[in-house]
Every structure is written in structure tokens, then in C-alpha cells.
Amino acid sequence: MKTATLNKGKEKKYLNHYPLIDQADLYAHDHLKEVDIFQLVTDAGSYIATAYVGHQHKGLGWVLSYDQTEDINASFFVNLFEEAQAERDYFYHIEGTNAFRLFNAEGDGVGGLTIDNYDGHLLIQWYSKGIYKFRYLILQAIRQVFDYTSIYEKMRFPNHTHEGGFVEGDAPEFPIIIEENFTFYNVNLDDGMMTGLFLDQKDVRKKLRDHFASQRDVLNLFSYTGAFSVVAANEAKTTTSVDLANRSRELTEENFGINGIDPETQYIYVMDTFDYYRYAERHGITYDTIVIDPPSFARNKKKTFSVQKDYDKLIEGALNIVAPQGTLLLCTNHSEFTKKQFKSVIKQTLNNAGVDFEFAEVMGLPKDFKTHPHYKPSKYLKAIFVQLK
Ligand code: SAH
């Protein structure tokens, strides 16, 4: 087997189970290519871990095992999938939810691979060419461990030769309707990079519905298919969904429809968030709860937007149209924008504006998105309910 030798002094990090191998920590390696499994060794040549080459987040690849005798074969994946499934036992037995993550990359032992379950329809996401090379073994293991109706896949790495989509099983007619905490959502596993619902926000949606929606005017910015609006609608006085993409209107209307809510009773705007801020301000419209869940980067007209650089502007805009004692739900899923930085941007922006506030809830990933204890970026989701006073 090929080896990669660490620089002297770097062994501690990997002996402590840091899962992503940083190229800069390596002293030398045997011409590793994106097909290879290799042994990570200390400068003295002693074994630390078995890893695969898959370029992601500036890393060379991910650790698979700390057992020198372990083969990376179908039963290796079977064991991990069985373990992951056992840990999701809760989701198989609760009522009102049939969509959740089955396998969460490095959190469950294989960086670069996720598997989601949408009511029996599985979605595999491949995050590097390297992990995609294990496709045959991984499919074998999935067949052995999971019950499913169909399997779909998405390629989340550049320069792939195959487009993804249907893999096997009984193909449903999309959209399928899934259920999460007794709310219904349309999902399409075979249309672009997004499915219609971000499963990682399930706890945050529930929190919004249960604590920050009742009798309120709720504004949902960057609303996509309207998931936050739909979950809030039964409790809320009104919901308003704002998204730049044309098709968000129809997708949002359909999500209201499958929950027995007449979309005509809700407000939907196809508009840039900052334009909407100006529009609402001009018309003196205010909201009791404002949800801000933007993409990490966006481009509109001539402007570019990045959450790290521009989150303060999103908060400032919201402050102009929030009702007294209102709530802001501020989210980011950018892994390089840490919780600490995010909190500090929020605090600074609100302090500069002279606003009195408290963090009512600081939330992260739900438990089906199992994270890695020694790899901070795996806790990428930050969702903070800020209560204004
Ligand atoms: N909050 C959503 C997910 C957001 S996905 C949810 O809970 O499901 C990001 C969305 O932001 C996309 O639908 C995209 O069309 C929209 N978007 C990007 N730039 C925007 C802008 N400047 N104003 C409004 N929407 C924007």
C-alpha cells in the first residue's frame, strides 16, 4: 500500500483523530492519485491511519480507519452503515417525520459521502472523485443494509463525467411528498443540486413553528421553496416569502397547497432581499419574526454577496422593518464562518444600531447530521433566534 509520511511534530493531530489530511502536514508521499488508499505514517514510519485520496476543503483526503489490518471493502462500509442506521433508530420510529440523513460523511466515518432518506427514496451525494471511486462497493453495502424504494445520486465535485440522477429501484414520480414534524414538503431528487428541502434545518423549523410564529407576521427571506413559511403558516398571522428565483413562487405555492393552506392567503414576492427591504420600509410594513437564511455566496445584477462580508447589511435591513420586541432568526451554513465570528457580527451590528437584545436560542445541526468531534467545520450550521427588547 502507498504511504504518506507526516512532517515531524504533526503526528499528534492525527493520533487525536483529526479526520481530514492536510497536504501541508505531509513530508512526502508515494505519488498519491485520486484513486488511492494509503497509510498515513509518522516521520519514523509508524502507522497512524488508513485514508483515501479525495480532494475537499483544501484537504488531500479522509481517514477511513485506525486499524492497520482493516481492509476497505464492502463489509467495511456495511459495518459503518449498520452503525449509522442503528444511531438513527429514533427517526425510523417517530411519527410525522419520514425524511432524515442516514449517513453524514466524516461524522459517520467516511468524509465526502452523505446518504439521505426521503421516505424510502435514498439520495447519495459524492463530494470528491476519490469517494466516487468507491461507488460500486458503497452501492453493494447500501443494498445490504438499508431498505429503500429507489436510489438517486448527486455529484458534488468538479469535472465529473457522469451527471448523477437515477441509480436503481422503483423511480417515483417527482415531486414526492415527504413529512417532517407533521408538515408536508415537496421533494425532487432528480432536478439540479437542491432537493426542495434542506433536511439540516428540521429542528430550526420546528422551533420557529412552536415558539416564534404564533399570531405573528413572519417574513422569510431567501425563502427558496418556502419551507420556513409553510411550517409557520398555521400558527402565524401572515407569512411573507421573498426569493430572487422565479420558480420559488410556484414551489412555495405548491408547498402551501399540500398542507391545506390556500397560497392566496400568504404573500410571496420574487424579489432581491435588499430591494424588498426598501419596498417594505417605503410602505411602512413591519414583521414580528424575520427569518434570514441566505446562501453563503450569491450574485445579483452587478453585486456579489458573501455571508462573511455582508451579514451585517442583512441585519441592518431587517432592523428597519422589524416590529418592537420582534425576533430575528439568523442562519448561516458557511463552514468557514465560525459560530464565534457569526455571533460577534450579530452583536456588533446590533450594538452599533443601539438595539437591546438577547440570544433566545442558539441552534445547530439536528442529530441525524452526526458531526465529528475533532473536526469543527462539520458543525457548519448556525441558527440563532435573536430576541429584540
Ligand atoms: N432558506 C431556504 C434555503 C435558501 S437557499 C430554506 O429554508 O429552504 C438560497 C436561496 O436564496 C435560493 O432560493 C436563491 O434563489 C435565493 N437568493 C439568492 N440571492 C438572493 C437575493 N439577493 N435575494 C433573495 N433571494 C436570493
Residue 74's pLDDT is what? Answer: 97
Query: For residue range 357-382, what is the model confidence (pLDDT) as tens digits?
Result: 999 999 999 999 999 999 999 999 99
Query: 93-97, 158-162, 305-309: which range is least confident on average?
Result: 158-162
Of the candidates 29, 24, 23, the residue with the CA atom closest to the CA atom of residue 41: 29
Residue 302's pLDDT is what? Answer: 73
Q: Ligand 1 in contact with 270 (CB < 6 A)?
A: no
Contact predicate 380/333, CB 8 Å: yes
The residue written with cell numbers 458503497 in the block is: 138
Residue 159's pLDDT is what? Answer: 87
35 — pLDDT class (breaks 50, 70, 90): confident
CA distance 225 to 145: 32
Residue 111's pLDDT is what? Answer: 97
Which residue has its alpha carbon closest to ligand 1 atom 23?
272
Residue 298 pLDDT > 90: no
Q: Ligand 1 in contact with 249 (CB < 6 A)?
A: no
Residue 305 pLDDT > 90: no
Q: Ligand 1 in contact with 295 (CB < 6 A)?
A: yes
Domain boundaries, the chain: 2-65, 74-175, 198-388
Q: How far is the CA of 112 from the centre of ligand 1 (A)?
A: 25
> Mean pLDDT, to the nearest integer, of 92-110?
98
Check if CATH label 1.10.510.10 holds for domain 2-65: no
Mutate to test the pocket of ligand 1, among 242, 244, 250, 299 (most ligand atoms within 8 A of CB): 244
Residue 49 pLDDT > 90: yes
Residue 289 pLDDT > 90: yes
CATH topology of domain 198-388: Rossmann fold (3.40.50)
Residue 284 pLDDT > 80: yes
Q: What is the pTM of this model?
A: 0.97
Q: How far is the CA of 294 from the centre of ligand 1 (A)?
A: 5
Between 3.30.750.80, 3.90.180.10, 1.20.1300.10, 1.10.1060.10, what CATH number should domain 74-175 receive? Answer: 3.30.750.80
Contact predicate 211/288, CB 8 Å: no
Task: State residue 289 phi and psi, 5-degree precision.
Answer: -130, 130
DSSP letter at 192? S
pLDDT mean across residues, the chain: 97
